[in-house]
Amino acid sequence: MNLHDEAAKVLLGNWRGHNTIPAPGLYPHQWSWDSAFIAIGLRHLSPLRAQRELESLFGAQWADGRVPHIVFDPSAPREGYFPGPDFWRSEQVNGPMHADTSGIVQPPVHALAAWEVFTADPETARRRGFLERLYPRLVSWHGYLRRSRDLGGRGLVSIVHPWESGMDNSPSWDVPLQRVEPVPAGEFRRRDLEHADASERPTDVDYGRYVRLAATYRDHGYADRLDVHEFAAEDPLTNALLAASEDALARIARELGESPQPHEEEVARLRDALSLLHADGLFHSFDVHGGSLIRGGSVAGLVPLVVPGLPQAQELVDTATGPRFRVDELGLAPSYDLTDPLFDPSRYWRGPAWFNITWLLQRGLTDHGANELARALRGGMLEAASRSGFREYVDPRTAEGRGAHHFSWTAAVVLDLLI
């Protein structure tokens, strides 16, 4: 089988009727930013399914506009993933008729995906009213982030849980997490370790802190007030993807005969606000409680390359190709600075290369005219996916596979790169 057909097999094998799971076993439900990347690949196999992927996610949107990070599949075992629906108790906020979901969010890459899905088959999308129905929901999603998550009052979105970054155990969170008292490991049961090697996952202490933060949020009715959240960070990846998604909303608005202007203004505003996070050749998260930048080497700091017209783009290219990331040589983006003692090539977001992030960088580099480097990343991703067999992440130095097998967004970005 060639790489295209193998990728299609992974993606179609993970389809569950209305949406795609990230991977069998470890992730048996629908995840928010996974669905966006999945839709970007799936549009090449079935534009209709790609539309449904996003529609099913937004079908579980909360009344306040938030798009939950997990939508639980009622036909999957209730205890198959921890923390499951009995932990999050979303029905206490949304009522029993609403889908069971988590109460936190993930990076807002959905409008960007919606536009890409539309372009794959505008005729079917127009006939089905795909953008007409999704546009107000996307606007309300961004409105939630802008309105309820500017916890630092600086015009940037704060994430309130490491899971919201999508980069759960990134070393960026080590310092702010020190303030959080972990729930003892005996008080919850980790289901992830039934499917993945413990040396490639977060530690029990990490999990204890994740559980504490999520339970506190839940016990306050998912209220977004700084005194509820012990963890609050203005993350460059979240804010950069919001800007890129606002740019996509401007295109969507134009297609629908609406004014793109509010979205264009929002892109410009976020581009300026992001400069608050810029130092030493890349962007950093800002620890709202600590009142300072978390200086380190997370690849999240390179993701602002996806922001159109970013003034610091050349600096980011220099950092990406310098000793800390060596993306030109590796063809992949390590999730953490290779030269930092905290770099770990196998442990999740502390070093391994991930395909969605490398895809975003490749896209941003193309937009900023760094075509040769973008081509190197394309080649690196295709080779690593083929060699590892669509694993969740890989050792950035050897492309040896790590984490889950048959991982959906790995297959999705491969399909997108091949077409």
Residues that are catalytic? 168, 392
- Residue 23 or 327: the one with the smaller Cβ distance to ligand 9WN is 23
- 65 CB contacts (<8 Å, ≥6 apart)? 140, 141, 142, 143, 144, 145, 147, 148
Give the three-state DSSP class for 389. coil
| Residues ≥6 apart with Cβ < 8 Å to 281 | 315, 316, 318, 319, 322
Tell me how far, at minimum, the Cβ of 265 lies from ligand 9WN, in Å.
30
Cis amide leading into 83 (omega within 30)? yes
265 is written with which tokens? 């203004």
As measured in angstroms, the least distance from the Cβ of 27 to ligand 9WN is 5
Q: Minimal distance in Å, beta carbon 190 to ligand 9WN?
A: 9
Contact present, 8 and 415 (Cβ < 8 Å): yes
Taking the C-alpha atoms of residue 130 and residue 255, their distance in angstroms, rounded to an integer, is 12
DSSP helix/strand/coil, 42: helix
**Given the complex with ligand 9WN, which of 81 and 135 has the nearer CB atom?**
81
- CA distances 339 to 236, 257, 329, 347, 361, Å, are 21, 50, 15, 16, 20
Q: How far is the CB of 212 from ligand 9WN (least distance, A)?
A: 15
Instruction: Select 166 or 364, whichever has its Cβ closest to ligand 9WN.
Output: 166
Other beta carbons within 10 Å of 62: 19
- Give, as one character, the DSSP assignment of residue 16: -
Task: Please state the closest distance from residue 22 (CB atom) to ligand 9WN, in A.
Answer: 3
Tokens at 85, concatenated = 């629906």
Min. distance of Cβ 123 from ligand 9WN in angstroms? Answer: 32
Q: Which residue's CB is nearer to ligand 9WN, number 88 or number 283?
A: 88
Q: What number of residues does the chain have? A: 419
3-state secondary structure at position 215: helix
* Residue with nearest beta carbon to ligand 9WN: 22
Q: How many helices (H) and strands (E) does the chain have?
A: 18, 11
User: Under the rule (CB under 6 A), what is the footprint of ligand 9WN?
Assistant: 22, 27, 31, 33-34, 69, 163, 166, 168, 192
* 298 secondary structure, DSSP code: B
